[in-house]
Amino acid sequence: MRVCLLPYDISHFTGPSKGLLPYKRPLPGVASLPTAAMLSEKQVAIIGAGVSGLLACKHLLEAGFDPVVFESHGRTGGVWVKGAIESTRLQTPKSFYQFSDFPWPQSMVEEFPDHRRVVEYLDAYVEEFGLLPRIRFNRRVTEIGFAGNEGKAADWKEWGGTGEAFSLHGKWKLTVEDSLDSGPAPEVYRADFVILCIGMFSDLPRTPAFPVNEGPEVFDGKVLHSMDYAMMEWDHAVELVRGKRVVVVGFQKSSLDIAAEVSKRNDKRYPCTLLFREAHWALPDYLIKYISRNLNRFMECMIHKPGEGLFLCLLASLLSPLMWIFSKLMESYLRWKYPLKRYGTVPEHSLNMQFQACMTPTLPPQFYDVVEEGSLILKKLRSFSFCKNGVIIDGDASKVVMADVVILATGFKSDEKLKSIFASLYFRKCMAGSSAPLYRECIHPRIPQVAILGYMNSFSVLHATEMRSKWLAHFLMGAFKLPGIREMEADVTEWERCARSYSKERYKRYQVSALLQIYCNDILCRDMGCNPRRKRSLLAELFAPYGPADYRGLAPPYLQKP
């Protein structure tokens, strides 16, 4: 192995950073903020050049750092490039899926752009802020190890021993391999701080386990995960399913999109079959757009929040019936609009619970029209297994769905992927030992000098990640310190308790409630010393929707440009 220091090539990566903010005055309680020269000397590594990695890189550059981004593939964009099928579109209106300081071009008239337009938008962002020279493509980080006494971490009362971003207790070692050439020995880099932006929906697919002789090995056709299907070239994907009997397993966004795409391609001569254990409320575009216009502070008053005072608690109890009524009206409309009962797709849970659990997919256009014409067959089941010619339903050999291709849209092992990147067993146990481990959805209280971005579900993951990128840049600049470890753990436990009270058994480890996005942003703003009230009037503050544009130029007074 060859040991290198970050930045990899000083002459290439150092230099004045675009948009560097001058420091007007120190934050109360902090002796002094570091100078730009001090920040540029800190070695910050970002793993992944998807949306999260690009945001982290951009905001650290503006803060005065010289970060280096390691990307395992040959271009930026993450799952929008290597994990999107032909028909993939945004699930949220573009006004909510945009960078706060880089809006969509006026020529973009579609409210829900397709994945090609999203990739073009991300590429334009990279060019606008000069991020490309900071990215080392085709470099896969296989593991990170703490070059210090990790045993002390269990005894620390403050994060990293001090509560600050950078510590004298050690650095991180990154083992990096060439993704295209397995010949060269791995290189080892050292960094003062590591930001993990490795994504939730790639690399480690989750597949069902089957008894012996009941799995894909007995099937004469082809079995693949939705990830593999999405990574195919368009013409290869068309050839795979053309004139074939295709079965898709699942009922979330990717499964609905793939089933709709295949059924339109093959029509009713070779109908596609969608198998699912549990149906979910899937909303058409216009309802998603309507809901986005009502994501305001008044709506958030209907929901109980962690750390709320007596007044907010009483207000939420008083107004919560309005949220229940709205949810039931939406459910009634969907039952009236679509033949849910006829096809067994009426969910057993409420729409409100699904909102809270951040698991509401967008319904593909004309989805039930395709079902009605017979090009798509919906089958609810308890279990399935494979046989020579297809899929057996509920263990009944007389119920066989004949198939040539089976696509498993069964999710990803996000937790396992995040855990496995750590070389240390102690840090792996830290990641696996709690159901809600991340403070401010990006900091693990027991793992020093590491931040995790993009591991949350939200109404707009881009917006949620950008807010945490801004927060992280302020933290690395020394604008504030983290609370004690026990205080952070108590905070994330309280957030978990609140989330579980609404989403029940559908609670997921990484989620920012779509219905508490403003409240989360308020907390981040206060940490950064910024004003959380972004509107110009009380009426707008209560009833106008909040989106990325409201947080443009977010900075405390002492860090604002003159």
| pLDDT range class, residue 401, cuts 50, 70, 90 | very high
End-to-end CA separation in angstroms for the chain: 47
Domain boundary among 381, 408, 435: 408
Instruction: Pick the range with the lowest mean pLDDT from 202-211, 366-375, 431-440.
Output: 431-440
Domain boundary among 408, 430, 445: 408
How many domains does one find in the chain?
2
Q: Which of the 8 DSSP states describes residue 166?
A: S
For the beta carbon of residue 407, count every other beta carbon within 10 angstroms. Answer: 29
Q: What is the pLDDT of residue 471?
A: 96
Domain boundary among 408, 440, 474: 408
Round to whole Å and give the CA distance between 457 and 359: 8
Model pLDDT for residues 144-178, shown as the tens digit of each residue: 999 876 666 667 888 988 899 998 878 999 999 99
Shared domain check, 188 and 164: yes
Model pLDDT for residues 107-130, shown as the tens digit of each residue: 999 999 998 999 999 999 999 999
Shared domain check, 332 and 386: yes
pLDDT reading at 28 higher than 60? no
Model pLDDT for residues 520-558, shown as the tens digit of each residue: 999 999 999 999 999 999 999 999 999 999 999 887 665
Task: Give the whole-number percent of the chain exceeding pLDDT 90.
Answer: 57
Residue 307 lies in a domain: yes
Q: What is the pLDDT of residue 501?
A: 79
Shared domain check, 259 and 130: no
Residue 207 lies in a domain: no
pLDDT reading at 223 higher than 90? yes
Tell me the pairing of strands 246-249 and 222-225.
Answer: unpaired
Distances (CA, A) of 475 to 149, 232, 367, 455, 464: 23, 40, 46, 19, 17
Q: What is the pLDDT of residue 10?
A: 27
Round to whole Å and give the CA distance between 71 and 190: 17
Structural domain of residue 189, as residue ranges?
36-202+414-551
| pLDDT range class, residue 257, cuts 50, 70, 90 | very high
The chain-wide mean pLDDT, for the chain, equals 85
Model pLDDT for residues 30-75, shown as the tens digit of each residue: 445 566 556 668 899 999 999 999 999 999 999 999 999 999 999 8
Pick from 516, 408, 531, 502: which is nearest to 456 by CA? 516
Instruction: Pick the range with the lowest mean pLDDT from 92-101, 459-468, 507-516.
Output: 507-516
Pick from 360, 207, 377, 355: which is nearest to 279 by CA? 360
Shared domain check, 122 and 40: yes
Round to whole Å and give the CA distance between 76 and 105: 20
Segment holding 298, helix H or strand E: helix 297-300
Shared domain check, 439 and 391: no
Pick from 92, 151, 46, 147: which is nearest to 472 by CA? 46
Shared domain check, 490 and 391: no
Residue 338 phi/psi, 5-degree rounding, is: -120, 150
Round to whole Å and give the CA distance between 249 and 255: 7
What type of residue is 465? T
Shared domain check, 287 and 233: yes
Shared domain check, 421 and 402: no
Pick from 376, 81, 121: which is nearest to 232 by CA? 81
Residue 453 lies in a domain: yes
Provide CB contacts within 8 A for 287, sequence distance 6+: 330
Model pLDDT for residues 175-197, shown as the tens digit of each residue: 999 988 877 888 999 999 999 99
Residue 18 lies in a domain: no
Shared domain check, 224 and 175: no
**Strands (DSSP E) found in 318-420:** 376-380, 384-386, 390-393, 396-402, 405-408
pLDDT reading at 437 higher than 80? no
Shared domain check, 329 and 267: yes
At 50, which CATH number? Answer: 3.50.50.60
Please provide the size of the chain in residues: 562
The burial class, CB within 10 Å (0-12 / 13-18 / 19+), for 519 is: buried
Provide CB contacts within 8 A for 335, sequence distance 6+: 341, 346
Q: What is the pLDDT of residue 20?
A: 32
Q: How many CA atoms lie within 13 A of 239 on its CB side?
A: 5
**Which tokens go with 198?**
């490795």
Round to whole Å and give the CA distance between 79 and 553: 27
Shared domain check, 228 and 158: no
Cα angle: 36, vertex 39, 40; to 5 degrees: 85
